[in-house]
Chains A and B, each alone.
Chain A
Amino acid sequence: MSGFLKIAIRNLLKGPVTDPYPFGKTFIPNKLRGKLKVDPKACTACGTCEEVCPSGAIHITKNENVYVHTTWYNTCCFCGNCEFFCPTGAIKLTNDFHTANTEEEKYRFTTVALISEIKCESCGEMFVPASEALLKRAYPNVNDTIRELTKLCPKCRRKKAFERLYQ
């Protein structure tokens, strides 16, 4: 009995161990997987996140000249698969875990990122350019020639790159 008595007395002296949350502070580690943040500048609307999301929480739809990247929190299970597989690092799970919402907000409780297309400098076709983050992943050092190429649509880019070979 003495073993447990010791613990009991120590606990009495120590006071409660539970956090007073939501009225006070609680322990929130930096790496906690909570609501996610999508950086539209880094995202290239490649659809990888949509593909690997196990619960189908991510939808990428296209409106005129802009891709809409929507994450539904009532479906998301905060697994972090999208963050891990995103080739450009555009998705980050933040440590904001406040996901209580009313039934009324059910269809509005989302994160939306807009990825707009740009006009091809050569032919005027609309397309999504490769982001800086993607270039950094693809090339050991990103120079201006490569950056110039991102302003062209895939078709014109191919043409230009081919021409360069024979100049």
Chain B
Amino acid sequence: MSTKIPIGPFHIGLEEPIYFKIDLEGETVKNVDMINGFVHRGIEYLAMQKNFFQNLILTERVCSLCSNNHPFTYVMAVEKIAGIEVSRRANYLRVVADEVKRIASHMFNLSMLAHLIGFHSLMTQTMEAREIMQDIKESIWGNRMDMSANTISGVKYDLDEGQIEYILKRLDELEPQVDEIIDIYFNHKIVKARTVGVGVLPKEDALRLGVTGPTARGSGVNNDVRVKAPYAAYDELKVNVILEEGGDVHARTKVRWREVKESIRLVREAITNLPEGPVVLDKRPHIPAGEAVTRSEAPRGELIYYLKTNGAQKPERMRWRVPTYMNWEALRVMIPGNKLSDVAVIFNSIDPCISCTER
């Protein structure tokens, strides 16, 4: 006998406004249909009403967890059109901001996983460790989420000796905590019982659907934009791509944790080898008419910006493709065949960002 069950659009287990129509047979999901569009905010239209400097902030407000990648990709598009060269120091500083955000974003998603499998003490422990990253963001950039680090032709902040020392000190504090928690996520029997073999996305499907970010890397697809099409200082800093073969929730969890470790290494490397130079150009540039497409690796996957200008102070058209857009379709492969109680866990494992997707 089959039953139909609705989950969402506003559901305590989901954390995001989305509606799942689920066909059940016994306890097992047979089919799933997903409907979204509940929080559309019209930001693409708004971006055309604002000038290039206001859009630095507007794009940052698209999503609070990837909030650095949006302005980052946007300024790269503007710089491409205007033919601006960014200094090496500014590029390093951009990487620092980006990797700090990645650590905080991944750890947030991972603690959500602990919450969804009912391991609450693990969730609070992960959140507490993540608080170190929040302190760094507050102390260096002045805000816990929206750092406002990027500007056209460079970055808005600089690091002095004291600040570098502070970041290094806090990272030294974070790393042993991360190691301790990683061990639990990788090996604890409660976590394994709820994640191993759950929500499997085979490699062929990952390739067919073009999924991005840790969702793809958990299925063994190497698509890290930082390596495949290096931008900013990533070609100098040499990112190690993290790949797992399992394709299940556990594999994606592992990818994220190992990426947290990799990002800690990258931040350390970038701030200890900061090149000298200006962080931003003195003169505010004129943005000529033109078109550009740029992409970057957001915590959730590949983020693409398209920008068209006509020589005026405002963009003529701006459009972006966010990582969740691709990962979304993969849920149709991941969810059927699993238990109803696993739906929220699987949904969380693609690190969905409805706020970017429905901008």
Chain A residues with CB under 8 Å of chain B are 1, 3-4, 6-8, 11, 17, 27, 29-33, 51-55, 77-81, 84-85, 93
CB of B241 within 8 A of chain A? no
Q: Say whether A29 contacts B139, CB under 8 Å.
A: yes
Q: Which of B55-63, B258-266, B336-344 interfaces with chain A?
A: B55-63
**Are A52 and B53 CB-contacts (below 8 A) given A8-B121, A33-B143, A79-B146?**
yes
Q: How far is the CA of A27 from the CA of B166 in the complex (A)?
A: 15
Q: Say whether B53 contacts A81, CB under 8 Å.
A: yes
**Are A33 and B142 CB-contacts (below 8 A) given A79-B57, A81-B56, A81-B57?**
yes
Pick the residue among B60, B121, B128, B188 that contacts A79 (CB under 8 A). B60
Which residue of chain B lies nearest to A78 when distances are taken between CB atoms in the complex?
B143
Q: How far is the CA of A32 from the CA of B121 in the complex (A)?
A: 30
Q: Say whether A32 contacts B188, CB under 8 Å.
A: no
Q: Say whether A4 contacts B57, CB under 8 Å.
A: no
Q: How far is the CA of A52 from the CA of B56 in the complex (A)?
A: 9
**Are A80 and B50 CB-contacts (below 8 A) given A3-B180, A8-B121, A93-B142?**
no
Q: Say whether A27 contacts B135, CB under 8 Å.
A: yes
The 10 closest A-B pairs by CB, nearest first: A33-B142, A54-B57, A54-B54, A29-B139, A52-B53, A79-B57, A31-B142, A29-B138, A84-B156, A3-B183
Q: How far is the CA of A134 from the CA of B238 in the complex (A)?
A: 43
Chain B residues with CB under 8 Å of chain A are 50-51, 53-58, 60-61, 121-122, 125, 128, 135, 138-143, 146, 148, 151, 156, 180, 183-184, 187-189
**Are A7 and B180 CB-contacts (below 8 A) given A77-B61, A81-B53?**
yes
Query: Which A residues touch B60, using CB under 8 A?
Result: 79
Q: Can you show 6 pairs from A to B with CB atoms below 8 A apart?
A: A3-B180, A3-B183, A17-B128, A27-B135, A52-B51, A81-B53
**Are A29 and B53 CB-contacts (below 8 A) given A54-B58, A80-B156, A84-B151?**
no
Pick the residue among A3, A55, A93 that contacts B184 (CB under 8 A). A3
Q: How far is the CA of A30 from the CA of B187 in the complex (A)?
A: 41
Known contacts A30-B139, A81-B148, A85-B53; 19 additional CB pairs below 8 A are: A4-B122, A27-B138, A29-B138, A29-B139, A31-B141, A31-B142, A32-B142, A51-B53, A52-B53, A54-B54, A54-B56, A55-B57, A77-B146, A79-B57, A80-B142, A80-B148, A80-B156, A81-B54, A84-B156
Query: Which B residues touch A30, using CB under 8 A?
Result: 139
Q: How far is the CA of A53 from the CA of B56 in the complex (A)?
A: 10
Query: Which B residues touch A78, using CB under 8 A?
Result: 143
